[in-house]
Structure 1
Amino acid sequence: MKKTGFLLILFAFSFLLAISSYAAEPYRIGAIFAITGPAAWLGEPERNSVRMLQEEINAQGGINGHPLDLVIEDTVGEETRAVLAVNKLINKDNVLAIVGPSRSGTTMAVIPIVEKAEVPLISCASAQEIVNPVKKWVFKTAQNDSDGVVKIYEKMKEMNLSRVAILSSTDGYGMEGRKHLNRFASEMGITVVADETYGPKDTDMTAQLTKIKGTDAQALVNWSIVPGQTTVIKNRRQLGMTIQLFQSPGFGNIKYAQAAGDSAEGLLFPALRLLMVDSLPKDHPQKAILTKYKKDYEAKFKSDVTTFGGHAYDALNLVIAALKAVGPDRAKIRDHIENTKNFVGTGGIFNYSPIDHVGLHKDALEMYTVKNGAFVPVQ
């Protein structure tokens, strides 16, 4: 009888040990993405990526024994919804940090809120204005749009193209890109011969492209993330335009190329190395994480990996690393992220500092083209 009692006590003790890792209070993180709406090709893979990472972390026992709890909100790509979502995450859900938003405009809309509440936010958008000037509580994982502009103009110079037409959307991402396209043109010996815009919900850019066709432009740069960038590609073909087309890094989802069909063949755009992981040398510092992320994502969701999902994956990994190091303290999480060095992510090797809240530079980008409906790195 004594032996039986001892065994029962031992079993109960073992059971308590087994569940102790999840007896700890969860670490709650907020995430806001454009899961539906015109920017869903950004937000859906971002949502998928953080969910996948959450499942992986919790299957391994959580963060220092604490389950990772994600509260995900859909902004539909709209500023008003983003503001409502962030207020909810901070005031109701009491999150320790926020990952997202997907778009530059929605990020700019919520910056005053997180700054006042002193909650770390890691945006997945690329507008340089998000972190320049530096905001104490705001970081991002997408490359600066100005770096993409420089990569495009460097390629144009290499191709002996000096006259460019600019076409951009009037949302936050498009306006920031347009600003940098105009700014760097004069610095890099490029002449802007046309500068046209279109609304995020526009469905026909024939009028703008007809004006551009009447100029002596040697190249066209389209800067947007909305589905309109696919419309531009199709309208260009319909008008018989043959000048070289460049797209922004916002083209880094193969669905855009697939939607444009044959019209996308030969266009050029800068993007992160995730799109060329199979051709990276084995000793490249990003090879392991890019291979793992691509393999895990495509196996789970039966869909091609995108650089946008990678932005969210990196952002949540940065928060997880901070939680492991300093625990559930917003100020300490912020400080840890700001002092992160040599953090290998899908977007590049991040080096943050008090004067640099993006941590990436131009060398994180490669040039790609569309060939036979696929993204191919340009040698």
Structure 2
Amino acid sequence: MVQRRIPAIASRIAGAALSLFALLPPPAHAQAPEPVRIGAFLSVTGPAAFLGDPELKTLEMYVERINAEGGVLGGRKLQLVSYDDAGDAEKARTFAKRLIEQDKVDLIVGGSTTGTTMAALPLAEQAGTPFISLAGAVPIVEPVKKWVFKTPHTDRMACEKIFVDAQARKLTRIALISGSGGFDKSMRGECLKTAAKYGVEFVADETYGANDTDMTAQLTKIKGSGAQAVLNAGFGQGPAIVTRNYRQVGLTLPLYQSHGVASREYIKLSGPAAEGVRLPAAALLVSDLLPAGDAQKPVVANYRKAFEDKYKTDVSTFGGHAYDGLMLALNAMKAAGGTDKAKVRDALEATRGYVGTGGVVNMSASDHMGLDLSAFRMLEVKEGNWSLVK
């Protein structure tokens, strides 16, 4: 009996086990690690699209490339969460809030303009989210904000680089013309504050509106001011209009522009009138003209080739700012051993010797940009292209 019952009992036990197994969930597969979330709000459309468009293209290109190579931090993929603020400060604030509170990003790289950056800056500070701005004005990092950093050279540096060049050309009486935007106003103020240090006297101070399409009235006043040179503090399409009108009113004085127009788009918009214009800019625009021993040459040459090969369009320094922002962020995460925001912030502040498209970056507790005047190159438009002023 026993021998006959054992198979029966075994059969019932096996059947019960199979039934129980059917009710259990399938075995869990190893879950992919959480992605590293990079947030961005950029002016991809609107009047500052010449900034935001190459910035977004750059972030997308390198996120795709890094993920294809295996990701970061031991296999974590990058996830780019980006919004187009169209240059509107209120939209930028809304998107920054969404990135922090809803999207739960680990870090923000963005803010194409000074206005959009300044609108979002308090939110990053309050939330304790590392924020690397791509805008130029001094107030972004002065006074130092705990959680805020930036990649572009400042407007004050642009003023100083221009004044150094003017000194070398024995130009001391300069006329100033500037736009009404946040960057324009900030650069105008920085130029006024630093002029005396370089022996520069401003003999005129004219302004134009964001929607102005003709600046001949202001330039006619400048023509009679006794100026030896003219400095246009501005970005966007305004400086191209100033440049065209400059020649139309018969001005032949040296004309300086800001690094806010450091792209071939400015030359295209200005046409032949841009010939001879000088401006300070990053080495990226003249990568092919840099000497072989220049520390930046391989970095800017590689970025330029990657961007132009993929998008079939000219590189700009603005896309370079986004490249530097992303690489600084990833280097800091690597140094921090993860995405802990406080540790990443501390690692950003401790950045030393990073060679980027904007220059060699050495940050500190008192300097959240880390560039000095040597990071700027003085360029001149010659025969419709950039040349390096020796």
TM-score by length of 2: 0.90
The equivalent residue for 2:320 is 310
Instruction: Mark the structure with the bigger radius of gyration.
Output: 2
The equivalent residue for 2:180 is 170
Residue 324 of structure 1: CA displacement?
2.3
Which moved further from structure 2: 194-203 or 238-247?
194-203
Residue 280 of structure 1: CA displacement?
1.7
1: CA distance, partners of 2:235 / 2:84: 17
Residue 282 of structure 1: CA displacement?
2.3
Q: Which of residues 347, 353, 366 in structure 2 aligns to 1:336?
A: 347
1: CA distance, partners of 2:272 / 2:225: 25
Q: How does 1:163-312 map to 2 (within 5 A)?
A: 163-312=173-322
**Does the CA contact (< 8 Å) of 1:153 and 1:190 recur in 2?**
yes
- 1:220-241 Cα deviation digits (max 9, x unpaired): 1001112111100011111111
Matching of residue 27 in structure 1 with residue 36 in structure 2:
yes
Matching of residue 371 in structure 1 with residue 367 in structure 2:
no
The equivalent residue for 1:38 is 47
2: CA distance, partners of 1:210 / 1:269: 22
2: CA distance, partners of 1:32 / 1:314: 16
**Does the CA contact (< 8 Å) of 1:36 and 1:43 recur in 2?**
yes
2: CA distance, partners of 1:60 / 1:192: 53
Letter in 2 for 1:99: V
The equivalent residue for 1:5 is none
Residue 325 of structure 1: CA displacement?
2.8
Letter in 2 for 1:259: L
2: CA distance, partners of 1:227 / 1:81: 22
Letter in 2 for 1:35: V
Letter in 1 for 2:287: V
- 1:69-98 Cα deviation digits (max 9, x unpaired): 001111111111110110110111010110
Is the partner of 1:45 in helix, strand or coil? helix
The equivalent residue for 2:121 is 111
Q: How many residues end up aligned between the 2 structures?
A: 360
1: CA distance, partners of 2:220 / 2:156: 27
1: CA distance, partners of 2:306 / 2:233: 30
Residue 134 of structure 1: CA displacement?
0.2
State percent identity of aligned pairs: 46
Letter in 2 for 1:203: T
Residue 209 of structure 1: CA displacement?
1.1
Q: Flag structure 2 segments of 5+ consecutive residues without an equivalent.
A: 1-28
Letter in 2 for 1:36: T
- 1:43-94 Cα deviation digits (max 9, x unpaired): 1110111111101110111112111000111111111111011011011101
Residue 163 of structure 1: CA displacement?
0.6
Residue 174 of structure 1: CA displacement?
0.5
**Does the CA contact (< 8 Å) of 1:200 and 1:226 recur in 2?**
no
2: CA distance, partners of 1:109 / 1:208: 31
2: CA distance, partners of 1:182 / 1:93: 42
Q: Which of residues 130, 135, 139 in structure 2 aligns to 1:125?
A: 135
Q: Flag structure 1 segments of 5+ consecutive residues without an equivalent.
A: 1-18
2: CA distance, partners of 1:60 / 1:201: 45
1: CA distance, partners of 2:224 / 2:91: 41
2: CA distance, partners of 1:220 / 1:72: 38
1: CA distance, partners of 2:239 / 2:87: 16
1: CA distance, partners of 2:335 / 2:199: 47
The equivalent residue for 1:8 is none
Q: Which of residues 58, 64, 74 in structure 1 aligns to 2:67?
A: 58
Residue 193 of structure 1: CA displacement?
0.5
Q: Which of residues 325, 332, 356 in structure 1 aligns to 2:367?
A: 356
Letter in 1 for 2:207: T
1: CA distance, partners of 2:357 / 2:195: 29
Letter in 1 for 2:340: D
Letter in 1 for 2:263: N
Residue 201 of structure 1: CA displacement?
2.3
1: CA distance, partners of 2:116 / 2:102: 20
Letter in 1 for 2:249: L
Letter in 1 for 2:386: F
- 1:174-230 Cα deviation digits (max 9, x unpaired): 011101111111221111010111122222112211211121011110011121111
CA RMSD of aligned residues (A): 1.2
Q: Which of residues 102, 105, 111 in structure 2 aligns to 1:95?
A: 105
**Does the CA contact (< 8 Å) of 2:263 and 2:285 recur in 1?**
no
**Does the CA contact (< 8 Å) of 1:39 and 1:227 recur in 2?**
no
Is the partner of 1:183 in helix, strand or coil? helix
- 1:301-341 Cα deviation digits (max 9, x unpaired): 00111111000100011111122232121111111101111
Matching of residue 146 in structure 1 with residue 136 in structure 2:
no
Matching of residue 73 in structure 1 with residue 83 in structure 2:
yes
- 1:262-293 Cα deviation digits (max 9, x unpaired): 00000100101111211222232212211110
